[in-house]
Structure 1
């Protein structure tokens, strides 16, 4: 009786706090795989084309979308190619739309869309539902590919920031959400690297000196601003 072939890993996830070295390790893994002729894709935090996350994407009720399309009929053709319909909701990749339109989308319309940002502007239950559908879609697509995907931070850090800091949803919901994602990706035989610094405060103080003041201001605002 022969042994079954080993299960092929199709997903590598790199996690850790800001400044822990996630980006460097993710890039190193990608380079090593390429060196060994193993095809791989690398998606960093904030990638607008991330296949399992929503970066700068809004979820808006269709009736609201129809109202905005009527009000801004002269410019909505810039946005339409970046809309995906899902039942009673419309998913809008607004940053990609603005990028494609070369900033021709009026700021007033852009602000209207931002009210429905998936990480900030929808109820926490809706956020969890949308993210789970996103992960399911990724797993379905990955299932038929002979390629390894590397993700930086979208498994723990992003939902942690959203559920624990932004929405104050509590540890139980955060844990439940992450475990549900883990169940979805199990068939991809994922490998998780978690970078745990020995001194968290020192790591944050160091990264503050390496990044812009705008980055620091945003991080503080994002994690402390009270949601209405």
Structure 2
């Protein structure tokens, strides 16, 4: 088993990156699977898993899911590409639920669980988070912006701050990226921070491939004739 984790703000290119890496691995002869964050068959955070996302016991439940994933998949000769699970589907929800004090211990324990499979982390980091969020809202349109803003407004954290509308979007995601930055500074796994988002989409894939590519990919391609890139989109 090989594992690549991809993190970044909305609109930073996580899904596009995951798909391109999966396809590149296939070309190199590696069986691979990648999962969208919202996939119903997600191996770590299936659709029905987040119903208690703001509870104090959510970090413990996430750790159990990570341990189960590693236990079940570790023996497989396959590359797994997972986007948004290390931060966005976990620590972001802890921030929303006013459980920020639980994040450090959670992340430390999560890294211990994952250490046995030696994951590689790609962190897609816009140079200026605020400008990127504003660009994403314009690029994805009013419907997406309103939907996400309405969700965030109702979370315990944003509700306490009395953030509304676009201010809620900019304020929350700016704080979230600072949280991600702090976790990256504490990361023990192999990681690479890449300037991402508008103006960087063309270059960020090549930078990511220089980080995740390995001799195993190249050598395996010489011996394996049939490969498959499996996408889990729903």
Normalising by structure 1, report the TM-score.
0.64
CA RMSD of aligned residues (A): 1.9
Number of the residue aligned with 1:157? 88
Instruction: Note if 1:203 corresponds to 2:132.
Output: yes
Number of the residue aligned with 2:111? 182
SS at match of 1:41: strand
Residue 62 of structure 2 contacts residue 90 of structure 2 at CA under 8 Å; is this kept in 1? no
Runs of 4 or more, structure 1, over 3 Å off, are none
The 1:42/1:226 distance shift into structure 2, 3 A limit, reads closer
Give, in whole Å, the separation in 2 of the partners of 1:210 and 1:141.
39
1:57 Cα shift?
Answer: 3.4
Instruction: Note if 1:18 corresponds to 2:10.
Output: yes
SS at match of 1:211: helix
- If each structure's helix is expressed as a fraction of its own residues, which one has the higher value? 2
Residue from 169, 191, 201 that aligns with 2:99: 169
1:226 Cα shift?
Answer: 4.4
1:54 Cα shift?
Answer: 3.4
Task: Kindly report which structure 2 residues correspond to 1:78-93, keeping only aligned pairs within 5 A, or say none.
Answer: none
Residue from 47, 59, 69 that aligns with 1:138: 69
Residue 41 of structure 1 contacts residue 150 of structure 1 at CA under 8 Å; is this kept in 2? yes
The 1:147/1:202 distance shift into structure 2, 3 A limit, reads same
Number of the residue aligned with 1:48? 40
Instruction: Note if 1:217 corresponds to 2:209.
Output: no
1:162 Cα shift?
Answer: 0.6
The 1:226/1:189 distance shift into structure 2, 3 A limit, reads closer
The 1:162/1:186 distance shift into structure 2, 3 A limit, reads same
1:220 Cα shift?
Answer: 1.7
1:212 Cα shift?
Answer: 4.6
Runs of 5+ unmatched residues, structure 2: 160-234
1:168 Cα shift?
Answer: 1.0
Runs of 5+ unmatched residues, structure 1: 1-8, 59-116
Residue 22 of structure 2 contacts residue 34 of structure 2 at CA under 8 Å; is this kept in 1? yes
Instruction: Note if 1:124 corresponds to 2:59.
Output: no
Residue 54 of structure 1 contacts residue 118 of structure 1 at CA under 8 Å; is this kept in 2? no
SS at match of 1:158: coil
1:140 Cα shift?
Answer: 0.4
Number of the residue aligned with 1:4? none
1:217 Cα shift?
Answer: 2.3
The 1:144/1:195 distance shift into structure 2, 3 A limit, reads same
